[in-house]
Amino acid sequence: MAVEVSYIIITPYSLLKSRTGGIIARLMSRTDLEFIGAQMLAFTPEMTERYAQSLETAESKETGRLLATYVRENFPPREDGRKERTLMLLFRGEDACRKLSEITGRLSPLSPKSISTGETLRDTYAAVVEDKENPKIIRFFEPAVLTPPNSKEALDKLGLFAEFAAATPNLVDNSLGASPEDERTLVIIKPDNWRAPSSRPGNIIDMLSRTGLRIVGCKVHRMSVNDALEFYGSVQAALRDKLAPKIAIQAKELFEEKFEISLPENSLECLTQSVGIPFADDQFAQLIEFMSGRRPETCSEEEKKLQNAQAKCLVLIYEGSNAIAKIRSVLGPTDPSKAPGGTVRRDFGSNVMVNTAHASDSPESVEREMKIIRINQNSMASRITEYLEETGR
């Protein structure tokens, strides 16, 4: 089977109702496709019309009309200029269009003749309500997600999205519900969540949604060693201060027990320098390897600049009142063993290093970390363009 690239668009209503995590959990756990891109898109009136027209010509006549009308009514900005948010997720793999279409499910009225089983995304999250007197009249319609039914339609629509995504800011300003007092914070869903098909990334997002905050930015990111060193630079000194003296004490006790001698107290300083600091530095190197896929001492200066395909993260920008504190409360302490039940790190973290997610701890950290992550850049459009070039489009 041919390798294809296809997409899922999570609708404004699904985002508003905090269904993002549940949708992503289904997508990540029920397919072997590679998750290669994500971007929050605020449709302009022009892009709305182009996308609606493409749906009218691509789907069956009735479905195309229904979807096009839905997009025209729900995707463009409100009359007061507030922007509707949509989230586009990009996947690559064999038979990608069919696999995503099967997970999405068909559009059908939720009537006794078509009982919803909850198997597909639309079974769970979509709704089609007919007029009781005339079933041909649709009173309410919510598709939950949109995806192209086949590779031809995927190629046609990906061309539209490559152009639009490249010209669209990666952070959505003035979104529906925004307030001048809102705060933003940065969350990274770390590499351990992406190494095998799993519902974990979606479940984490679902837990974070209890804050009531809005996602206004999203990108798939792979840290280089240099990125990780800059991002976690202050951690090295903290590890030295915290770990080195403790390791020196342990080393002294083990040495005395092994050789049955008593070392002078001033030997602790020597053991701190000779054993404790190398141990702390090794812990730091493990952290860099965990986030970037490479230990810094094994890389040349040029290699430190390169992104590693094995170190995929998902970066999310949340917005709302008191965003930093709310996210950190749901995330829990750095050490999962000390985190309260029901927090992200307690449920999914393994240890202080492999603690499943990162969240900024102050407005200054948000600004610094967004700069390192290059939040204003998103690779999704370029990934689409690469695929279109592969196919000769």
Residue with tokens 């990162």: 358
Distance between alpha carbon 339 and the CA centroid of its chain, in Å?
Answer: 22
- Nearest one of 116, 121, 87 to 103, comparing CA atoms: 121
> Do 87 and 38 form a contact (C-beta atoms < 8 A)?
yes
pLDDT tens across 17-52, in order? 999 999 999 999 999 999 999 999 999 999 999 999
301 and 294 Cβ atoms separated by less than 8 Å: no
- Torsion-angle region of 18 (φ positive above 0: left; ψ -120 to 50: alpha; else: beta): left
The reply to whether the predicted model has a pTM over 0.85 is yes
CA distance 142 to 66: 10
pLDDT for residue 135 = 62
pLDDT digits (tens, 9 = 90+) for 306-351: 998 788 999 999 999 999 999 999 999 988 888 899 999 999 988 8
Domains, the chain, in order of start with CATH, read: 3-170+379-390 (3.30.70.141), 177-377 (3.30.70.141)
For residue 127, the model assigns a pLDDT of 82
What is the percent of the chain with per-residue pLDDT over 90, rounded to a whole number? 78
